[in-house]
């Protein structure tokens, strides 16, 4: 049986990881109509391996970043649904079938699977994302053992593009990924736009995938830290409402400084400073090029997301970063 889905896999020097991912796509009980690998200037032979595996390969001359690769793939697709997939993910055989059935039954614009960790058996890589008023995000359940919080499918506002099924029409009408973000928080920014336009999604517990994680840049690499630090500011610049500093200034300052302290503890303080400086230099022009969010809709979305984040952190025993953040930014304080 074939579904009206195109699987889109951005790839940069994926090597054997890409081969493993493509094998899991080929094993799906609901076969996709097409598989497109966007090769983002690889210097290894992974693109050739993808062609041998039967995928269509679009070769980009230069490494232009995850967002551009995804946008290229979505524009090339012709199906109703696109499934964005990292090249270091292994899908359960019924993953696509479970996602498409849930999305169509729920009449939602996107759906995401439960992501288990390949590096830490028995623990989650994540499920859905939650965004705080600070512009900092958390992948819900990351590093946690599987628990009741993730055993039931649920409506969600944000999902990681590690593995996500999306209505192609809505993706294009929303304006695609913002390529200034390149990678990291690009998915949070996209789904914030979805939410502001009234589109909703689903976390589908029965759809399973395994994610290696940090396979391209490495966990807490200078490149990762620099991009996240910059993109936290760009997220604020693009979406926080007019006069945002009056209402959201303290959460933004507290959250992003605390994240900087965490980066310093990981030996990446210099990368954090470079990222923040880049974000500050871009901030005014970036903000002037975009219309800020409707303040009522924005408040509703961010309040719901941060409330869920706070509740889930309590149930797990809060991580140090979020414990410090919620100590600095209690309920109702902006």
What pLDDT was estimated at residue 216? 54
Q: What is the pLDDT of residues 165-212, one digit of tens each?
A: 999 999 999 999 999 999 999 999 999 999 999 999 999 999 999 999
Query: By percentage, how much of the chain surpasses pLDDT 70?
Result: 98
The whole-angstrom separation of Cα 232 and Cα 252 is: 9
Question: Secondary structure of the chain: what % helix, strand, coil (to 5)?
Answer: 45, 20, 30
The two tokens of residue 300 are 């509703």
Domain 2-211: give its CATH superfamily. Spore Coat Polysaccharide Biosynthesis Protein SpsA; Chain A (3.90.550.10)
What pLDDT was estimated at residue 219? 72
Please report which confidence band the pLDDT of residue 1 belongs to, taking 50, 70 and 90 as the band edges: confident
What pLDDT was estimated at residue 315? 84
List phi, psi (to 5°) of 172: -70, -40
Please report which confidence band the pLDDT of residue 117 belongs to, taking 50, 70 and 90 as the band edges: very high
Helices (H) and strands (E) in the chain, counts: 11, 12
User: At residue 215, does pLDDT exceed 60?
Assistant: no
Q: What is the pLDDT of residues 266-302, one digit of tens each?
A: 999 999 999 999 999 999 999 999 999 999 999 999 9
The whole-angstrom separation of Cα 204 and Cα 284 is: 39
The whole-angstrom separation of Cα 280 and Cα 233 is: 7
98, 194 Cβ separation under 8 angstroms: no
183, 224 Cβ separation under 8 angstroms: no
pTM of the model: 0.95
User: At residue 333, does pLDDT exceed 60?
Assistant: no
C-alpha triplet 163, 168, 170: angle, nearest 5°: 110
Beta bridge partners of 56: 36
The residue written with tokens 């990981």 in the block is 266
Q: What is the pLDDT of residues 142-169, one digit of tens each?
A: 988 888 788 899 999 999 999 999 999 9
Please report which confidence band the pLDDT of residue 63 belongs to, taking 50, 70 and 90 as the band edges: confident
Domain residue limits, the chain: 2-211, 222-328
Cα 285 to chain centroid distance, Å, stands at 25
Q: What is the pLDDT of residues 92-110, one digit of tens each?
A: 999 999 999 999 999 999 9
User: At residue 332, does pLDDT exceed 70?
Assistant: no
The whole-angstrom separation of Cα 262 and Cα 71 is: 32
Query: By percentage, how much of the chain surpasses pLDDT 90?
Result: 84
21, 85 Cβ separation under 8 angstroms: yes
The residue written with tokens 């209402």 in the block is 247
Nearest to 275 by CA among 234, 220, 228: 228
Neighbouring C-alpha atoms within 13 Å toward the C-beta of 49:
19
Please report which confidence band the pLDDT of residue 316 belongs to, taking 50, 70 and 90 as the band edges: confident
């Amino acid at each position: 049986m074939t579904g009206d889905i195109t699987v889109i896999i951005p790839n940069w020097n994926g090597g054997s990881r890409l081969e493993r991912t493509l094998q899991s796509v080929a094993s799906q009980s609901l076969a996709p109509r097409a598989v497109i690998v966007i090769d983002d200037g690889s210097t290894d032979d992974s693109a050739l391996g993808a062609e041998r595996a039967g995928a269509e390969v679009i070769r980009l001359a230069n490494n232009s970043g995850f967002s551009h690769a995804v946008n290229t793939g979505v524009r090339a697709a012709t199906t109703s649904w696109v499934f964005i997939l990292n090249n270091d993910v292994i899908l359960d055989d019924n993953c696509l079938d479970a996602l498409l059935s849930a999305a169509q039954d729920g009449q939602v614009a996107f759906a995401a699977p439960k992501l288990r960790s390949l590096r830490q058996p028995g623990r989650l890589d994540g499920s859905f994302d939650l965004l705080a008023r600070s512009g900092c995000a958390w992948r819900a359940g990351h590093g946690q053992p599987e628990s009741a919080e993730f055993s039931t499918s649920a409506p969600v506002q944000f999902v990681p593009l590690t593995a996500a099924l999306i209505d192609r029409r809505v993706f294009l009408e929303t304006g695609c990924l913002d390529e200034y973000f390149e990678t990291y928080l690009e998915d949070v920014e996209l789904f914030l736009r979805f939410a502001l336009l009234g589109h909703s999604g689903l976390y589908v517990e029965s759809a399973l995938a395994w994610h290696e994680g940090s396979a391209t840049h490495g966990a807490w690499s200078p490149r990762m830290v620099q991009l996240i630090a910059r993109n936290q500011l760009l997220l604020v610049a693009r979406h926080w409402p007019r006069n945002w500093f009056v209402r959201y200034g303290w959460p933004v300052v507290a959250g992003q400084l605390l994240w900087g302290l965490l980066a310093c503890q990981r030996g990446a303080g210099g990368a954090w400073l470079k990222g923040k400086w880049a974000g500050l230099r871009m901030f005014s022009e970036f903000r002037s090029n975009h219309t800020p969010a409707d303040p009522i809709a924005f408040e509703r979305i961010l309040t719901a997301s941060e409330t869920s984040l706070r509740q889930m952190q309590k149930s797990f025993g809060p991580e140090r970063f979020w414990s410090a953040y919620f100590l600095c930014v209690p309920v109702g304080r902006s």
